A and B are shown apart, each in its own frame.
Chain A
Amino acid sequence: MKQIVELKVNGLAQEVAVQPHHTLLDVLRNEFKLFGTREGCGIGMCGACTVLVDGKPISSCLALAALAAGQEIVTIEGLAERGELHPIQQAFIDFNAFQCSYCTPGFILATKALLEEQPNPSGADVRAYLAGNLCRCGSYVKIEEAVLEAARRLQGAPAGTSDEST
């Protein structure tokens, strides 16, 4: 039996009809057509479907859509403002922090949550915080570089380059 739920995604509230068993991932893709959120494993192990709910990174494949009513949901599509990339996104480009990029939205959103909790993380902090996001192409070294650089830029440091960091 479908029920009507109001979900607030990337700042816009919208009513959608969902089945009680539909996950937030299902609804973001099928109803909101936000395809940056992707299923990797379906059981919360890989982080490809990470979204921010009230600022916290969660696996949207494990969250029931109907229970997300009243919360602020942010997907990768909500990060760039008016076509201007978020500094984390720019750092991921500048540091070649992806290959196939299927996992990239999840990594970027988890990074956003990390840098809000810890604006100056160490490499070890980055590795620990992002351990729940899997990159099968194995771009981890470059991801760590990108995250540390994004932290610097968000702190107001001038943009470094990948060459300086290696």
Chain B
Amino acid sequence: MASVGQNVPVADAQERVTGQAHYVLNLELPGLLTGRILRSPHPHARVVRVDVSRAARLPGVLAVLSRADLENQTAICPRYGRVYRDQTIVAIDRVRFVGEPVAAVAAVDDDVAAEALDLIEVEYEPLPAVFDPEEAIRPGAPLLHDPRPEATPAFAALMGVEPEASNVCNHFKLRHGDVEQGFAASDYVYEDTFRAPAVQHVTLEPHVAVAAYESDRLTIWTSTQMPHPIRAQMADLFNLPQTRVRVIVQTLGGGFGAKGSLRVEPITSLLAWKARRPVKIVLRRDEEFVTVTRHAATIHLKTGVMRDGRLMARQITAYYNTGAYADVGPVVARNGGSAMSGPYRIPHVWIDSYAIWTNVVPAGAFRGFGVPQGVWAYESQMDMIAERLGLDPVQFRRQNLLHEGDHFATGERMRDVHGEALLDHVASALQWQPSDARWLSGGVAAPAADRGPSTRRGKGLAVVLKATITPSTSTASARLNDDGSLNVITSSVEMGQGAKTVLAQLAADAADVPYERVLVSEPDTDVTPYDQQTSSSRTTYSMGSAVVLAVQDVRRQLLALAAEMLEAAVDDLVTRDGRVAVRGAPERSLAYGDVIRRALRGNLVGHGHFVTKGGLDPETGQGIGSVHWHQAAAGCEVEVDTETGRIRVDRFCTAVFAGRAVHPRLCELQTEGSTFFGLGQALFEEMIYDDGQLTNANLADYMIPSFRDAPRELEVGILEHTGEGEVHGIGESSLPPVLPAIANAVYNAVGVRITDLPVTPEKVLRGLLAQRPPQ
């Protein structure tokens, strides 16, 4: 029986409910030391003096790492960075954000390590700092990187040309049609500004790595979404061939983008190299907050529209605050920027999307990769424009949605477009009526029946389209054993999304073996083949395709061998339930294992590689933005207390296009998870800085959604192809529309439009007070 489409038991379930799941956190090795990191208290300062001598003399300290280890030597390359080599393993001449690593120690236990940190003396000379991206690009603003750091070759082609030293880390441009002509032809042109703050991933498992350096080989067990890129970058840092660096990943306690770039691996590895003993570093929660964040963004939208609601032109200026170091910020700005015209037909589009260096915690990949900030802006503005034109916001969207064969702002012809079906699903689940728009109802929302006279109800919705990283590469191997069981060997990372389960399902069906007889490996760069990354909602599609190709390679070999044994042509053979048979003659059949044994092959090994092509020109934004576009819609009904501003999300419905749901229940689970992720960002998540100092780096002051925040009803719609079609990843698509759907619902409830996230009771209450006539 086909396994794809079935809710098969998930991989490793027993381990997960008994506490036995293998996080790196649990790894112990003989002689293992504990590492800890000393961090900068200044947002921007020159490092005058670092004295580690007292720490090094403390009994129980085996290694101390400081800039002295990076200067005047050639063994270790001190600089790294996926796009720009702008970051050093520990600070050398300057610190650029509060929390930047300045020194580190490895000691016999955590208590000794903590004591050693206290003995390190660092003298700083504070420098002027800049925190806001628009201030950072004004003339005279303090420069974070001067001269401009070296770009890595891998990303050079993605970058706009920025020869001068400035805080502009990347400037992505999209030019489509003639935007000035579009505005001139429009009946109305509306300009609005939207803001989204930095938020943190808060994976419950923190960043953790264990490194060991033996016999000129570096082995790193780490909680990462990108084992092969980590290997390549660590090999660069240590001037080693990639064969001498081994990256092993077991399972992750959540990733959400946080665990992609180099994080604790360089410091952990360098300590292990110095101490000649294995070292483990586990970040504390407060350190997590100063390791990587989502980009804060300021987005200016200028949209031209006809009286009847046709979108004509849109100009966007987006500033992504990438913090002190580039990480993948330039790519985030490109990805977020390039999709910011939304799932709509707009003939004239002009986009400038910037990643800007400032003196805050570096921002990197975060579930949605720049898109949630953009969707927050354009789907809020869609409702604002609908009101200005007196239109039903659902009909206004429907009339502008992209359809099959339309051209997107990137110039690519769209296929597999489902915005209308997704919007209709959500509108219907909400029982949306035009009068649910506040401006079409006479401006009075219904009180919530059972919540007292001060509560108002309102509905809102939003639609999104999002790229998956393109081009992209996945490779896989499959090994059919002589008992008919199948090993699938990949570098995809299981982080709770169900990668091992769905890859096993796809392999089982391609091989015609039962799901229970397939085992998917965990990444180990010594043995598992290259995969670009476990992110961008790409694993089911991209790695799934590579796995199927690897299995088909095995199957070809199997059939060739069986054809000889069964004295039949390959074309006349069929496979079913682990047997090869001659078509129409089931008695002439062999079990897979019998074929392998008779052929003295031991096992059959197949390989598959799956490469997507595309990419955008950095100067025009034209090209192929995505091999296919991920799409979703979300809608909700909220209750707002007009006396306190408190917002309660009563009903939530979300619809996502999956192409083909490999494991429907996991699709539903992950989509529910995206919704909760979005609820937090919509309603309360925000990293709050005071003069560069983060003030809420703990889970008491930075809240994440709990059971208390759950909507009373949460309905998930998974849309699939009616016939054959590609699998679409769904790990991120349904998150971005949550943010504007809630803000639009709040507006329809009480008439308060919030343009800067999160939508807090305080902001709503201020808006309500402003509505009241002066006394």
Which A residues form the contact surface with B (CB < 8 A)? 19, 33-38, 40-43, 45-46, 48, 75-77, 79-80, 85, 89-90, 92-93, 96, 98-105, 108, 126-128, 130-142, 144, 162-163
Interfacial chain A residues near B676, Cβ < 8 Å? 138, 140
Q: Are B204 and A40 in contact (CB under 8 A)?
A: yes
Say yes or no: is B666 at the interface (Cβ < 8 Å to chain A).
Answer: yes
Q: Are A35 and B204 in contact (CB under 8 A)?
A: no
Say yes or no: is B695 at the interface (Cβ < 8 Å to chain A).
Answer: no
Say yes or no: is B57 at the interface (Cβ < 8 Å to chain A).
Answer: no
Main secondary structure of the interface of A (DSSP, over half): loop
Say yes or no: is B154 at the interface (Cβ < 8 Å to chain A).
Answer: no
> 1/0 per residue B309-342: CB within 8 Å of A?
0000000000000000000000000000000000
Q: Are A131 and B17 in contact (CB under 8 A)?
A: no
Residue from B20, B699, B710 within 8 A of A140 (CB atoms): B710
In the complex with contacts A43-B699, A46-B699, A98-B16, A35-B7 CB distance below 8 A: no
Which of chain A's residues has its CB closest to B17's CB?
Answer: A89
Q: Are A96 and B10 in contact (CB under 8 A)?
A: yes
In the complex with contacts A45-B699, A96-B666, A40-B285 CB distance below 8 A: yes
> 1/0 per residue B332-370: CB within 8 Å of A?
000000000000000000000000000000000000000
Q: Are B672 and A141 in contact (CB under 8 A)?
A: yes
Residue from B284, B673, B714 within 8 A of A99 (CB atoms): B673
Q: Are A76 and B19 in contact (CB under 8 A)?
A: yes
Q: Are A101 and B699 in contact (CB under 8 A)?
A: no
Interfacial chain A residues near B251, Cβ < 8 Å? 100
In the complex with contacts A99-B669, A138-B673, A36-B203 CB distance below 8 A: no
Say yes or no: is B750 at the interface (Cβ < 8 Å to chain A).
Answer: no
CA of A74 to CA of B19, assembled, Å: 13
A32 to chain B, nearest CB (A): 12
> 1/0 per residue B245-261: CB within 8 Å of A?
00000011110100000
In the complex with contacts A80-B18, A93-B13, A99-B497 CB distance below 8 A: yes
Residue from A75, A93, A162 within 8 A of B17 (CB atoms): A93
Which bracket fits the contact residues of B? 35 or more
A149 to chain B, nearest CB (A): 14
In the complex with contacts A42-B285, A131-B706, A137-B673, A92-B496 CB distance below 8 A: no
> 1/0 per residue B688-712: CB within 8 Å of A?
0000000000111000111110100
Residue from A43, A79, A104, A138 within 8 A of B700 (CB atoms): A43
In this complex, the member of B17, B18, B496 whose beta carbon has the largest number of chain A beta carbons within 10 angstroms is B17
Q: Give how many A-B residue pairs fall within 8 Å (CB-CB).
A: 152
Which of chain B's residues has its CB closest to A163's CB?
Answer: B7
- Pairs A–B under 8 Å by Cβ, sample size 16: A35-B19, A43-B698, A43-B700, A85-B17, A93-B17, A96-B10, A96-B665, A98-B17, A100-B204, A102-B253, A133-B706, A134-B704, A136-B677, A136-B704, A140-B672, A140-B707
CA of A42 to CA of B677, assembled, Å: 22
CA of A102 to CA of B669, assembled, Å: 16
Say yes or no: is B416 at the interface (Cβ < 8 Å to chain A).
Answer: no
Say yes or no: is B619 at the interface (Cβ < 8 Å to chain A).
Answer: no
Residue from B495, B498, B665, B708 within 8 A of A162 (CB atoms): B665
Say yes or no: is B722 at the interface (Cβ < 8 Å to chain A).
Answer: no
CA of A119 to CA of B497, assembled, Å: 32
Say yes or no: is B589 at the interface (Cβ < 8 Å to chain A).
Answer: no
Interface-lining segment among B21-29, B391-399, B628-636, B741-749: B21-29
In the complex with contacts A96-B10, A99-B497, A137-B18 CB distance below 8 A: no
| Beyond A134-B704, A138-B673, 9 additional pairs, beta carbon < 8 A | A42-B284, A46-B699, A85-B14, A100-B205, A133-B707, A134-B706, A138-B674, A138-B676, A163-B7
CA of A96 to CA of B493, assembled, Å: 19
Interfacial chain A residues near B706, Cβ < 8 Å? 131-134
CA of A34 to CA of B704, assembled, Å: 27
B713 to chain A, nearest CB (A): 10
CA of A73 to CA of B264, assembled, Å: 34
In the complex with contacts A35-B25, A43-B698, A134-B699, A100-B19 CB distance below 8 A: no
Which of chain A's residues has its CB closest to B494's CB?
Answer: A100
Say yes or no: is B521 at the interface (Cβ < 8 Å to chain A).
Answer: no
Residue from A48, A89, A90, A126 within 8 A of B204 (CB atoms): A48
Interfacial chain A residues near B205, Cβ < 8 Å? 38, 100, 102
Which of chain A's residues has its CB closest to B21's CB?
Answer: A101
In the complex with contacts A35-B26, A36-B19, A100-B252, A134-B204 CB distance below 8 A: yes
Q: Are A75 and B496 in contact (CB under 8 A)?
A: no
CA of A45 to CA of B495, assembled, Å: 22
B9 to chain A, nearest CB (A): 7
Interfacial chain B residues near A42, Cβ < 8 Å? 284-285
B674 to chain A, nearest CB (A): 7
Which of chain A's residues has its CB closest to B9's CB?
Answer: A93
In the complex with contacts A93-B14, A162-B665, A138-B21 CB distance below 8 A: no
CA of A111 to CA of B16, assembled, Å: 16
CA of A130 to CA of B669, assembled, Å: 19
CA of A6 to CA of B127, assembled, Å: 54
A131 to chain B, nearest CB (A): 5
List residues of B (271-293) whose CB comes within 8 Å of A's CBs: 284-285
A162 to chain B, nearest CB (A): 6
A52 to chain B, nearest CB (A): 13
> What 7 pairs between A and B have smallest CB-CB spacing?
A36-B19, A138-B676, A100-B496, A102-B253, A99-B496, A138-B673, A101-B16
Q: Are A36 and B20 in contact (CB under 8 A)?
A: yes
Which of chain B's residues has its CB closest to A89's CB?
Answer: B17
Which of chain B's residues has its CB closest to A42's CB?
Answer: B285
CA of A48 to CA of B708, assembled, Å: 17
A9 to chain B, nearest CB (A): 13
CA of A130 to CA of B705, assembled, Å: 12
Say yes or no: is B224 at the interface (Cβ < 8 Å to chain A).
Answer: no
Interfacial chain A residues near B708, Cβ < 8 Å? 127-128, 131
In the complex with contacts A19-B111, A101-B496, A141-B710, A45-B26 CB distance below 8 A: no
Interfacial chain A residues near B698, Cβ < 8 Å? 41, 43, 45
Interfacial chain B residues near A43, Cβ < 8 Å? 285, 698-700
In the complex with contacts A134-B706, A140-B676, A77-B14 CB distance below 8 A: no
Interfacial chain A residues near B7, Cβ < 8 Å? 96, 162-163
Interfacial chain B residues near A79, Cβ < 8 Å? 18
Q: Are B700 and A45 in contact (CB under 8 A)?
A: yes
Which of chain A's residues has its CB closest to B705's CB?
Answer: A138
CA of A142 to CA of B13, assembled, Å: 14
Interfacial chain B residues near A108, Cβ < 8 Å? 17
CA of A43 to CA of B204, assembled, Å: 13
Residue from B26, B111, B707 within 8 A of A127 (CB atoms): B707
> 1/0 per residue B657-684: CB within 8 Å of A?
0000000011001101111110000000
